[in-house]
Amino acid sequence: MKVVKDKDLCSIKIPVHPFFRKMSVYCYFVDGLLIDTGPKIQKRKLSRLYRSLDIQTVALTHHHDDHAGMVSWLDEQLSPRIFAHERTNLSVDTEIYTGEIQTPNHKFIPISTPAHTHDHVCMLEPDRGWLFSGDMYITPYPKVFLKNESVSSYICSLKELKKLDFTSLYGGHEGLIPNGREMIAEKLNYLESTRKEVVRLHQLGYKDREIVKRIFPRKVRLELMTFGLFSRLNFIRSCYSD
Ligand SMILES: [Zn+2]
């Protein structure tokens, strides 16, 4: 686990799983607010850290365990207010995002951004220009999707993010993303042009697996690591099904 402090913003980086140390998740703590909680499997390390922080409020970007896994522990041990999207389904009672979350020195505006999950939310601190983007951006060129991820929803949500006035982009797996604004635009362009090409091939009668071979001929590590939970086929199908 690595904790980096930049003025009042604290970035907490921890592997999503002790055995898969290459992939990390980031939680952010600022002014009493914890954005995402980290995975339950890292409870030993995270609980020690969380006890040392004055956590008043928790804001979740979405329900996946690597982001929301510690929420039960936080609820039981530290009793903060916990905010989540109205469609987030967890074992603890949460408050639904309605308007901005005010902390002593900051305000945070939840931005509904369904795409990665139906309950995904980004958090904008407008005065400082911080955007906490959860899993909206991991790479500008995704090739694999979860079954329910939707290219069209990504395109809509990325267009919403582009309109926001932010200067620093903090990702859920990347930390501070250099050139965040450009990267959001890059991902949007990539998804739009890839979707167009997939739809073209689909309309020409190509089968999904043939389209995969043409567009993403190389194997993708995440697809292998997750035994196909994330797959190129999911990505291709989502391009023409929504
Ligand atoms: Zn996720």
Domain CATH number, residue 118 = 3.60.15.10
What is the domain extent for residue 223?
Answer: 2-241
Alpha carbon of 25 to ligand 1 centroid (Å) = 10
Alpha carbon of 204 to ligand 1 centroid (Å) = 34
| Residues 38, 172 contacting (CB under 8 angstroms) | no
Q: Are strands 81-84 and 33-35 parallel, antiparallel or unpaired?
A: unpaired
Interval 83-122: pLDDT, tens: 999 999 999 999 999 999 999 999 999 999 999 999 999 9
pLDDT of residue 121: 98
Q: Are strands 130-134 and 168-171 parallel, antiparallel or unpaired?
A: parallel
Alpha carbon of 67 to ligand 1 centroid (Å) = 7
Alpha carbon of 135 to ligand 1 centroid (Å) = 5
Structure tokens at 3: 């904790």
Q: How many domains does the chain have?
A: 1
| Residues 118, 104 contacting (CB under 8 angstroms) | no
Closest CA to 123 of 183, 61, 32: 61
- Residue 59 is which amino acid? A
Alpha carbon of 90 to ligand 1 centroid (Å) = 14
What mean pLDDT, rounded, does the chain reach? 96
Interval 157-192: pLDDT, tens: 999 999 999 999 999 999 999 999 999 999 999 999
Alpha carbon of 206 to ligand 1 centroid (Å) = 31
**DSSP run (H or E) holding 154:** helix 151-163
3-class DSSP assignment, residue 79: coil
Alpha carbon of 214 to ligand 1 centroid (Å) = 28
pLDDT of residue 203: 97
In angstroms, the CA 76 to CA 52 distance is 16
Task: Please enumerate in sequence order all residues whose Cβ is within 8 A of that of 80, keeping only pairs 6 or more positions apart, or say none.
Answer: 34, 55, 56, 57, 58, 74
Alpha carbon of 203 to ligand 1 centroid (Å) = 31
pLDDT of residue 19: 85
Alpha carbon of 219 to ligand 1 centroid (Å) = 22
Rg (CA), the chain: 18
Alpha carbon of 170 to ligand 1 centroid (Å) = 15
Model confidence at 39, pLDDT cuts 50, 70, 90, reads: very high
Alpha carbon of 116 to ligand 1 centroid (Å) = 7
